[in-house]
Structure 1
Amino acid sequence: MSSHNRFSPRAFTMPLAAFTMAGLLFVYTRSSIRMARRNAQMERESLRARGNANSSEKGVE
């Protein structure tokens, strides 16, 4: 390989694409985990609220 071809734009295309894909995957993974945690917390709070509502209704009878 000659020295003038070593730093051509083609030499940077694949590494740039790989780093871009890795960055997007990282961001997507972090946001998915954050969203799943938020949804799980909301589900727990919803179940807890329903459980409290059901127990207070049983106490009225």
Structure 2
Amino acid sequence: MDTQKRSIVKAVIWNVIGIISMSVVGILATGSAALGGKMALINTGLGFSLYVIYERVWSRVRWGRQHG
């Protein structure tokens, strides 16, 4: 099982990647850096929260794991 700290670090790194890509998509879709940036921030906040919960739930699931 991952530690809580590891889950959070993984989520932060993933969300840095996500905020960059979502900013580019938002700017391309709206033509506005301000609106694209707001969309990216909202998406990142929501995605971060859901990812941490998702990882913590899956860390407790034994199905599909091979032990040593």
TM-score (normalizing by structure 1): 0.44
Question: Which structure's relative contact order is higher, taking Cα pairs within 8 Å and 6+ residues apart?
Answer: 2
TM-score (normalizing by structure 2): 0.40
By percentage of residues, which structure has more helix? 1
Q: Which has the larger radius of gyration?
A: 1
